[in-house]
Amino acid sequence: MHSALLGQPTASPYSPPTLISNFYREEFLKHREFLQLQRESYSERAVADADAAICRVLGQLDRLCTRHEGVQMVSRLLRSFDVVTGVSVFSNRHLPH
């Protein structure tokens, strides 16, 4: 349950996989949007490769979230994209204090 305190959903017998995958789908779509907004900062190939990777994850998200430790793997992937897009930094700036 520790990861729930960090803002990450946890898989449990009471958390339908669709709710978890929908949460992650929204997060990956945010990263995809931020990537497009930052196109001028990266080469066309880098943007295309990152976008293709996000599309692959989105296409497999439901299946991944039902696998043993799949939620942890998806969470790691999301953090990897965050290093590039900076979505979490932007989001944290807009939270009320």
Q: Around Cβ 50, how many Cβ atoms within 10 Å? A: 19
**How many independent structural domains does the chain possess?**
1
Domain that holds residue 55: 16-86
Q: Establish if 91 belongs to a structural domain.
A: no
Q: Establish if 48 belongs to a structural domain.
A: yes
Q: Establish if 11 belongs to a structural domain.
A: no
Tell me how far the alpha carbon of residue 96 is from its chain's centroid: 22
Give Dmax over CA atoms of the chain in angstroms: 44
Q: What is the pLDDT of residue 90?
A: 75
pTM of the model: 0.73
Q: Establish if 55 belongs to a structural domain.
A: yes
Q: Establish if 2 belongs to a structural domain.
A: no
- How confident is the model over 66-84, as pLDDT tens digits? 888 999 999 999 999 999 8
Instruction: Identify the three-state secondary structure at position 2.
Output: helix
Q: What is the pLDDT of residue 2?
A: 39
Please compute Rg for the chain using Cα positions.
14
Q: Establish if 38 belongs to a structural domain.
A: yes
Q: Establish if 9 belongs to a structural domain.
A: no
Q: What is the pLDDT of residue 95?
A: 46
Residue by residue, pLDDT tens for the chain (97 residues) are 334 434 454 555 445 668 899 999 999 999 999 999 999 999 999 999 999 999 999 999 999 988 889 999 999 999 999 998 888 887 665 545 4
